Structure 1
């Protein structure tokens, strides 16, 4: 496992149950469609996409010792995702996510990440006990961090010496959890991957486009941010550089996991040597293909 291929993903790993109706759908409607159950969760979605891109992802999370946890661990192994250091707890059920999608996007979703929240900092033990790092020799690779962790734990991570040497890449789990990332603004740590709504919630602004939302995030303390805006322009902004890319228009076939796919492709592209502008364009194009139903590899 070479250093530039090994990526640590920290956060949710669970079962996604996704129902999709192929026409426009509104809340409260009952429509025919397809229901599928697949491995998911922000950290695991990122890890699975990274594995498809030839990277070597390892996930720190919590799984129950129930049947759902066993089958999820087996499914991850088949997909090239390393869960050997994941915490297994007999007293916690494996987490779950449920969503309804239509041709007009996500209609509604519920994320049950209570076990991840209950496990707390216990999932981080390999970063402290020598398996991946220690206080004297902190982990120095890339870490993809998932906002499904509690605000308190994310605050600890933002200030912890265990993460001081890492290349931190951070994503909220949803707009409803975006405010959990405020510690990374206060500390000016890491690269934030957010959509325009999430960026505005974090900064307290109401920017009409990704560029304005990114500028507000930097003003609020962000070190670097990747801000997307659906079919609109995406922006990669830091104090010294700004890059922009517009995704191609596609007919949407799926929504859940698109942001995680963009983040994974972008991380892999940069680690494989692409420049920032090229990596952003490549990631937005790949995410569009994912939304169109194509496989990303």
Structure 2
């Protein structure tokens, strides 16, 4: 494939509809605030951050051929993200994520990613029998993968020879989908990016800190685990040892997308040759800038 991308981002590509208010909120709250609609989804959030760090990502996902899908693809393409490999469905609508954030952070969210799940293995065609590779000639580049895919499809990816040579970087998308990543523990493949709650779901345990959670993930089979815990220390754990760093202290103005920013910044730092400690520090700085509103 000519002009090959630096990394593939596989997973959700959709519209984010986010309502934000500086007020404290509870069930039934009706408060003033701002509502925005922006391109989002875990895979796309990662791709957008990678572009800011100078990489050229390509998306593998499902986007409808409806008006919302056409607008989304046009907007994303203008950012410098390759959309040529997207699965464009005639009968599946473009997915949407809706969230409410108050002064204390995320209040509630609904992810309507049914089209991505319905598309299934069709989004992987470029890797299974296409321009990027096949089981006999597996893709050997970087892949950022999110847990919005079905558990069955994630299990196939964990075991597929088409992914045997890839540098897999994997995120669960949300705590409720964390257990979908269990196949990668069993296969001992990939780098996991999870928060403390997600690590707890994967390990079926509760943790007080990122280091103990990362160590538990290694014991359950993870090849590498990066665990975040808000403003508390973050841990990068491999069989060769663990590293922990304290995130910068910032005023939190938004939450949605922070984990995706951390993951993308970490991948970009390592792609640029940074060693583990420096990569972790850069990722935490990028995430802090994002949640503070410094990065738009």
- TM-score class, shorter: over 0.9
Structure 2: 5+ residue stretches without partners: none
1:39-75 deviations in Å (ceiling 9; x for gaps):
0000010001101111000000001100000000001
Query: In structure 1, what is the equivalent of residue 78 of structure 2?
Result: 78
- Cα RMSD, aligned residues only: 1.2
Structure 1 residue 110: Cα displacement: 0.2
1:256 aligns with 2:231: no
Return closer, same or farther for 1:2/1:92 CA change in 2, 3 Å cut-off: closer
Query: In structure 2, what is the equivalent of residue 273 of structure 1?
Result: 273
Q: Distance in 2 between matches of 1:27 and 1:276?
A: 42
Query: In structure 2, what is the equivalent of residue 66 of structure 1?
Result: 66
Structure 1 residue 27: Cα displacement: 2.8
CA contact (8 A) 1:227 1:236 kept: yes
CA contact (8 A) 1:205 1:216 kept: no
Helix, strand or coil for the counterpart of 2:28?
coil
After TM superposition, the structure 1 = structure 2 runs for residues 34-113 of structure 1, keeping only pairs within 5 Å, are 34-113=34-113
Query: In structure 1, what is the equivalent of residue 15 of structure 2?
Result: 15
Q: Distance in 1 between matches of 2:230 and 2:60?
A: 29
Query: In structure 1, what is the equivalent of residue 133 of structure 2?
Result: 133
Q: Distance in 2 between matches of 1:180 and 1:131?
A: 28
Q: Distance in 2 between matches of 1:117 and 1:129?
A: 20
Q: Distance in 1 between matches of 2:23 and 2:270?
A: 37
Query: In structure 2, what is the equivalent of residue 231 of structure 1?
Result: 231
Answer with 245-254 or 140-149: which moved more. Answer: 245-254
Query: In structure 2, what is the equivalent of residue 187 of structure 1?
Result: 187
CA contact (8 A) 1:27 1:108 kept: no
CA contact (8 A) 1:142 1:167 kept: yes
CA contact (8 A) 2:23 2:31 kept: no
CA contact (8 A) 1:247 1:285 kept: yes
Structure 1 residue 26: Cα displacement: 2.2
1:30 aligns with 2:30: yes
Structure 1 residue 135: Cα displacement: 1.8
After TM superposition, the structure 1 = structure 2 runs for residues 276-295 of structure 1, keeping only pairs within 5 Å, are 276-295=276-295
Structure 1 residue 78: Cα displacement: 1.1
Structure 1: 5+ residue stretches without partners: none
Q: Distance in 2 between matches of 1:14 and 1:134?
A: 27
Query: In structure 2, what is the equivalent of residue 163 of structure 1?
Result: 163
Helix, strand or coil for the counterpart of 2:248?
coil
Structure 1 residue 121: Cα displacement: 0.3
TM-score by length of 1: 0.97
CA contact (8 A) 1:120 1:153 kept: yes
TM-score by length of 2: 0.97
1:137-161 deviations in Å (ceiling 9; x for gaps):
1100000001000000000000000
Helix, strand or coil for the counterpart of 1:44?
helix
Helix, strand or coil for the counterpart of 2:97?
strand
Query: In structure 2, what is the equivalent of residue 152 of structure 1?
Result: 152
Structure 1 residue 2: Cα displacement: 7.5
